[in-house]
Amino acid sequence: MIFANLLNYITPIIFALGLIALSLKIVPEYERLVVLFLGRFQTVKLPGLRIIVPGIQKAFRVDLRVVTMDVPSQDVISRDNVTVRVNAVLYFRVVDPERAIIQVENYLSAINQLAQTTLRSVLGQHELDEMLSDREKLNANIQEMIDKRADAWGIKVINVEIKHIDLNESMIRAIARQAEAERERRAKIIHAEGEFQASEKLLAAADVISQNPQALQLRYLQTLSDISTQKTSNTIIFPIPMEMITSFLGKKVTK
């Protein structure tokens, strides 16, 4: 009898303590608690010790920290009909906990799907060379489009970074051949520019020599000096001015 009476007193106390334990919620500084009262939005509770009445109120925790999300590899067909596999990383955070819970069923899944479709859509409008050389511009375009659409869910997209652009073997070989051809083209241009500059210098030197006969004699002596110092051959050829040959031929004919 005494045990039954004691049990009658203890049972309500245990029930009350359990109800209190279920009602108390500790909200960390980086979280917010979105509370629905009988199915309707009531409030967003701030960090601290909060009370949620079970059965009447329902609470959803929302993390306000920056989320780093890997966007799975996507098959993208570029504007010049090249198929590549591209993956990226997305940085975002919740700025409006109410909309993140009420406006979308699962905001993490929604933002992931949105990132995948936007990645394919944006990159498909550019050629392969732009994907490889102008990533910063593409990152900005993707970030702007995702942020604009995710704003209705109370989400702010901070940054998008394209991580890898994978090409098949045939395309890698084609790019290598293109790069080699480009290097050969630049080498030929540089060689042609050097020949052109050298011809200009020779033309200027010829003009100077034509105006100063003494310069031609000095150059002649310098050439002889250079030949005498070289030991590559035992034969030395002395250049004879055309004036001497002409005068010699003229005297021979006269005789």
Domains of the chain in start order, with CATH, are 2-63 (no CATH), 67-172 (3.30.479.30), 201-226+236-255 (no CATH)
Tell me the pLDDT band of 69, cut-offs 50, 70 and 90: very high
What average pLDDT does the segment 33-60 reach?
Answer: 88
Name the token pair of 229. 């110092």
Residue 187, classed as helix, strand or coil, is: helix
Q: Where are the beta strands (DSSP E) in the chain?
A: 24-27, 31-37, 40-45, 48-51, 57-63, 67-77, 83-94, 155-166
Over residues 60-65, the mean pLDDT reads: 92
Interval 172-220: pLDDT, tens: 566 666 667 777 788 888 888 888 888 777 777 767 666 666 665 666 6
For the CA atoms of 183, 188, 193, 194, the dihedral, rounded to the nearest 10 degrees, stands at 100
Confidence of residue 56 (pLDDT cuts 50, 70, 90): confident
Lowest mean pLDDT among 8-17, 102-111, 134-143, 202-211: 8-17
Q: Give pTM, 2 decimals.
A: 0.62
What mean pLDDT is reported for the chain?
A: 79
Return the closest-CA partner of residue 94 out of 150, 170, 178: 150
pLDDT of residue 175: 63
User: Which stretch of 1-15, 29-43, 96-110, 153-167 has the lowest confidence by average pLDDT?
Assistant: 1-15
What is the rounded distance in angstroms from the CA atom of residue 243 to the CA atom of residue 255? Answer: 19
